[in-house]
Amino acid sequence: MIPLSALAATLLSALIHASWNLLLKGSAGDRLVDVAVMGLGGSLFGLVLIALFGTPVPEAWPYVLASSAIHLVYWTALTKGYDAGDMSHVYTIARGIAPALVTVAAVVFAREVPSWGQGVGVLAISAGVMLVGVNRHAPLAATGWALLTGAAIAGYSLVDALGVRVNADVFSYKGWGAVFTFLPISLFVIARRGPAGFAAAAAGRWRQGLFAGGISSAGFMLVLWAQMRAPIGPITALRETSVLFGAAAAALLLKEQVTPRRWAGALVVCAGAMLIGFSG
């Protein structure tokens, strides 16, 4: 059975993740600039961790750098997806395909075979998330970007889970990981918009953007902490309960239509989470 502390950390991370995605989708400005401001917030969070906890072991650096490269794909695909379609469509499809991919990859690369209950729970969460998010009327481009985002999620989830285990310390790993993940996209956007243009586009959104970047990085650190104590695949799947928070927020705050079918999918996600949480 997954330790209660790992369960709690993962569910808190899910709530945090849905929150900053809501902020990004709800923005009326340039979303790429918003991502860059969030990146600065995440980098600042990483610098605090570096100052307090130092540097990862040499063996962990290939994982830090690989995760950084995959995150660039993730951020690009996510912002493109939100430009093309509804949050409730893009967000849920992106999160839906990741758990099954990570679970299979964890069997291959980490020799972690989930229990019967955990395996069914992972499949239920993936199926429920897809039920929530799939919309046959959505633009094809939005679905394509969502699928690419989901593949990137699976990639960095596995890489970081293995990397933090090699490092045996989540804080120094995440400190440098946050800087290498967030800073490149921020610098790219600043260079593309120009310092003056970037500052003008970000005006009025600095505080919320920096805060969102900081809590995003902290939320993922919680998942890495949990994956040091529990199997990678089930923890990754549990994090996708963020779709419940995301669907509710999209309906209540963004006034997006969430159909009964999507709410039914959310119940399937809940059932899957319970199977993972209470299976040995």
Please tell me the distance from the alpha carbon of residue 206 to that of residue 192, in angstroms, as a whole number.
Answer: 18
pLDDT of residue 280: 60
The two tokens of residue 243 are: 């779709």
Please tell me the distance from the alpha carbon of residue 280 to that of residue 278, in angstroms, as a whole number.
Answer: 7
Please tell me the distance from the alpha carbon of residue 280 to that of residue 264, in angstroms, as a whole number.
Answer: 26
DSSP 59: G
Note the pLDDT tens digit of each residue in 109-129: 988 988 889 899 999 988 887
- How many residues can be counted in the chain? 280
The alpha helices in 194-239, defined as continuous H runs, are 195-202, 206-227, 232-239
Stated pTM of the model: 0.84
| pLDDT band with cut points at 50, 70 and 90 for residue 28 | low
Cβ atoms of residues 84 and 146 within 8 Å: no
Note the pLDDT tens digit of each residue in 185-232: 899 889 988 999 999 988 878 888 898 899 889 999 999 999 999 999
Please tell me the distance from the alpha carbon of residue 28 to that of residue 208, in angstroms, as a whole number.
Answer: 13
The two tokens of residue 87 are: 């949050």
The two tokens of residue 63 are: 């994982």
- Domain tally for the chain? 1
Residue numbers of the domain that contains 265: 4-278
| pLDDT band with cut points at 50, 70 and 90 for residue 9 | very high
Please tell me the distance from the alpha carbon of residue 53 to that of residue 56, in angstroms, as a whole number.
Answer: 9
Q: What is the end-to-end Cα distance of the chain in Å, rounded?
A: 4
| pLDDT band with cut points at 50, 70 and 90 for residue 50 | very high
Note the pLDDT tens digit of each residue in 64-100: 999 999 988 988 898 888 888 887 678 778 878 888 8
| pLDDT band with cut points at 50, 70 and 90 for residue 246 | confident
| pLDDT band with cut points at 50, 70 and 90 for residue 159 | very high
